[in-house]
Amino acid sequence: MSSWRYALRRLAWSIVALIGLSIVIFLLSRVVPGDPARMALGPRAPESVVEELRMQMHLHEPLYTQYAWWLWGALHGDFGMSLVTMRPVLQDILEFLPATLDLVILAFLIEVTLGVSLGVLSAMYNRSWVDNVIRVVAYFGIVNPSFVFAVMFMLLFGYLWPIFPAVGRISGDTELIRITGMLTVDSLLRGDLATFLDVARHLVLPATALAMNGMAQQARITRSSMVDNLGKDYVAMAVAQGISRSRIMFKYLLRPSLIPSVSLMGLQFAALFSNAFLVELIFNWPGLSRYGVTAMLQKDLNAVTAVVLVVGLVFVVANIVTDIVVAMLDPRIRLSTGRSS
């Protein structure tokens, strides 16, 4: 029962956080200089038409009234019309979000598997040349943002050595009947292995570029946690009993050492959505992040607010899932939660 109360508390605070985020981004989008109606219709539009659009957007009313209108619509799934695409914003999100999910999920799998593996390998060969090489690579991955790797990978593996496609989601004019919108999932559901492999090849460069920073952080944190746990008494006892080093590392050290890494994974998964903005632009990836950048440049207020809320929702859900996974890995967290409630 205490666990349920804890989950409900977290959910309530998450809703409060989302409402606060919506207020902040709504106010920021309204105080930015420029007339959204004029920018949407262009400089040659008649003033009467612009004035009619201002009335439709409630721009003549106080900010709190504008927010109330917007919130009421958002709660009913209506985020307004996009001033750029002239379609409902919700329709745009449903169209562009699956492409970003394709990219983010693969990037997350890359950063988790390679990051944890490199961290374990570095801890196993602590203070050796292997450890030093991995630490240098991890430092290089941390100090460089994702778009630097995107440009580097595009130049090296897209043009200099054209191993992988550099732009787009799929080759040629191939079209798939939309099921989920995620081309990897849709091609597998239809049993089209050739299309799946083509989509996967297009994903390699942007997903790897997006994953580099998180992979480096995972490697450093996993290594640090495992090196710290190597000094614990139960490890010394295992060594004294003659247990092999590899068994100690993977059976006794890996699970407790993953707790800091798992705590970071949730935030990293959500951060991939925000880090994908420039990566999607560089690789001409038709995802939600690129749509958000276009909306910001065009001062498309409804689209900007909706995109930021989607990213905020991802952060909230990722935090809740992370708390659950960490509690499963460490029973002490469940015990402390039960006593505090």
User: Cα(21)–Cα(309) distance, rounded to whole angstroms?
Assistant: 7
Q: Nearest to residue 268, comparing CAs of 221, 328, 337?
A: 221
Residues whose CB is less than 8 angstroms from the CB of residue 17 and which lie 6 or more positions away in sequence, other chains included: 312, 316
- Enter the tokens of residue 88: 């409902």
CA distances 106 to 80, 138, 200, Å, are 31, 19, 9
Domains of the chain: 89-340 (1.10.3720.10)
DSSP run (H or E) holding 55: helix 47-56
Q: Give residue 236's region: left, alpha or beta (phi > 0; psi -120 to 50).
A: alpha
Cβ atoms of 322 and 262 within 8 Å: the answer is yes
Residue with structure tokens 């495992």? 226
**Beta-ladder partners of 81:** 88
CA distance 107 to 272: 8
| Number of CB atoms found within 10 A of residue 43's CB | 7
Which pLDDT score is estimated for 340?
A: 46
Q: Cβ–Cβ contacts within 10 Å for residue 310, how many?
A: 16
Give residue-wise pLDDT tens across range 70-124.
888 888 888 877 877 888 888 999 989 999 999 999 999 999 899 888 888 888 8
Place of tokens 């065009």: 298
- In Å, the largest CA–CA distance within the chain is 86
Residue 303, pLDDT score: 87
Q: What is the CA radius of gyration of the chain?
A: 24
Q: Give the pLDDT score at 210.
A: 92
**pLDDT the model gives residue 167:** 82
CA distance 264 to 214: 9
Cβ atoms of 103 and 203 closer than 8 Å: yes
Q: What is the pLDDT of residue 6?
A: 65
Q: Tokens for 151, please give them.
A: 């440009």
pLDDT tens, residue by residue, 262-279: 777 878 888 888 788 888
- Could you say which residues of the chain have pLDDT below 70? 1-4, 6-7, 32-34, 36, 39-42, 173-175, 327-341
> CA distances (Å), 90 to each of 307, 309, 310, in order?
10, 12, 11
Strand partners, 88: 81
| Residues 2 and 337 sit within 8 Å (Cβ to Cβ) | yes
* CB hemisphere CA count around 220 (13 angstroms): 16
Taking the CA atoms of 152, 95, 77 and 265 in sequence, report the sign of the dihedral they define: negative
Q: Helix, strand, or coil here: 81?
A: strand
| pLDDT for 204 | 92
CA 214, 290, 52: angle at the middle one, nearest 5? 140
- What lies within 8 Å, CB to CB, of 154 at 6+ separation is 166, 205, 282, 283
Two tokens, residue 297 = 């440049």
Look at residue 83 in the predicted model and tell me its pLDDT.
75
- What sections of 129-170 are H helices per DSSP? 129-143, 146-153
